[in-house]
Amino acid sequence: MDKIKVIGKQILSGKIYISGSKNSVVSLLPAAILSDETIIEKVPHISDVDNLEEILRYLGVKFSLESGTIHIDSTSMINKPITLEYSSKLRASYYFMGAMLSKFKKIEISFPGGCNIGKRSFDFHLKGFEKLGAKVIIKDNLYTIVADELKGAEINLPFPSVGATVNILLASVKALGKTVINNAASEPEIGNLIDFLNSMGAKIKGKDTSKLEIEGVDRLSGGKIKVIPDRIEAGTYILAGIMNGCNLEICDVRPDHLKSFFDVLDEMGADYKIVGDKVVTNKVSHLKPVNIVTQVYPGFATDLQQPITTLLLQCDGISTVKETIYENRFQNTKYLNEMGANIEVEGDTITVYGPTFLKGKLVRTSDLRAGAALVLAALSAEGETTITDIKHLLRGYSDLIKKLTNVGAKIWLEDE
């Protein structure tokens, strides 16, 4: 099942329900080992969750998933090295660094996986662990992080990194005394993690701000959380509605998590309406070109940059997108151009000449959001598109085929 086929230009109408956030659940699952028994609700059906389940089971953690709710029992967890076979399946495997350092004062893990969209170093994470009193030894891509005792510290992040904020939070919740993270990431997914840790008895203040204060506690226990709706999945389907929708309703959305995205849609003159936690979208015949710059939250999300590029193809004029977070996140443009787009890439900026009309082609998914951009392109293209290497897409879009088929798309999976 590693090919998706799409016959484009179908009208999309009906309701799409947004699943729990990928980038939340991938930190909540490693965080769960800090307590004895925890419950996580609204878990998306994505392969990143399957891969984390594999790691947890390998570590002796009991895991049960039923109707989107996971029960985790880590009372019989064992500390053993997370080998490359496990760590390389996803980026978030490195959240076991912070979690296991906190639980066992020692973790051995091989290099993490994830999308190839830039350098993606994690030096801030390692420096943060060192600030808390840990020693980091790197040998042949194996990371050993040990501490006799973790002690609270003031940590100034050079950049508000999501991953570093998560890892330092995990490592510091049980450290001796107080930790302060300055210039912390304030993405909603961090807030979801803070709520989960606090439900276990952690003492973290400053949710949704760039300064987090963590008062270490001796023990964490219990813990229950509902994963927040995936704002990137929501944005992707809102784009599908603006390109091909007739009253397409995107339901279970947190519109307050998508403010910068809506600002851009307003500037373009897109037809969408927010009704509570629902966004109703319609195709319009003319859209204005825009200039987008990706930024950390609450700025325009880098994860929506590739999907929105597909919409920019329909604008009347020249748009630009400047990517400031990753060095290599334009791999979608090659395939969009093969489908008929006119996009120039220069350094960190692309120029999109619109409007252009797409034709179905054989294209390849290079990374998760490039895959989403290609699905959107295929839905609006004339004829049949085949998308290969879809493992990237399945990592982050829960029930993609089912959700789109239900609203009238002609899209199906095929074995290679």
Q: Which residue carries 């054989």 as its tokens?
A: 362
Residue type, 162: V
103 alpha-carbon distance from chain centroid: 25
Q: Residue with the closest Cβ to ligand EPU?
A: 163
Confirm or reject binding of residue 303 to ligand EPU (CB under 6 A). Answer: yes
Confirm or reject binding of residue 156 to ligand EPU (CB under 6 A). Answer: no
- Closer CB to ligand EPU, 193 or 243, in the complex: 193
Q: Which residue carries 């807030």 as its tokens?
A: 191
Q: How far is the CB of 291 from ligand EPU (least distance, A)?
A: 20
Q: How far is the CB of 353 from ligand EPU (least distance, A)?
A: 26
Confirm or reject binding of residue 395 to ligand EPU (CB under 6 A). Answer: no
Binding flags for ligand EPU, 112-151, as an x/- string (CB under 6 A): ---x--xxxxxxxx--------------------------
Catalytic residue selected from 115, 246, 251, 315: 115
Which of 214, 225, 174, 220 has its CA nearest to residue 201? 220
Binding flags for ligand EPU, 59-98, as an x/- string (CB under 6 A): --------------------------------xx------
Q: How far is the CB of 329 from ligand EPU (least distance, A)?
A: 8
Q: Which residue carries 């290079």 as its tokens?
A: 366
Is 315 a residue of the active site?
Answer: no
Confirm or reject binding of residue 257 to ligand EPU (CB under 6 A). Answer: no
Exposure pattern of 326-350 as b/e (b: 16+ CB <10 Å)? beebbbbbebbeebbbebeeeebbb
Q: How far is the CB of 324 from ligand EPU (least distance, A)?
A: 9
Give 99's Cβ-side CA count (13 Å radius): 26
Confirm or reject binding of residue 182 to ligand EPU (CB under 6 A). Answer: no
- Start-to-end CA distance of the chain, whole Å, equals 6
Binding flags for ligand EPU, 185-204, as an x/- string (CB under 6 A): x-------------------
Contact 162, 185 (CB under 8 A): yes
Pairing assessment for the beta strands 178-182 and 211-215 based on DSSP bridges: antiparallel
Strands (E), 217-338: 224-226, 245-251, 271-275, 278-282, 291-293, 318-322
- Closer CB to ligand EPU, 117 or 248, in the complex: 117
* Catalytic residue positions, numbered: 115
Interface ranges with ligand EPU (CB under 6 A) = 22-23, 26, 91-92, 115, 118-125, 159, 161-164, 185, 232, 302-303, 325-326, 368-369, 396
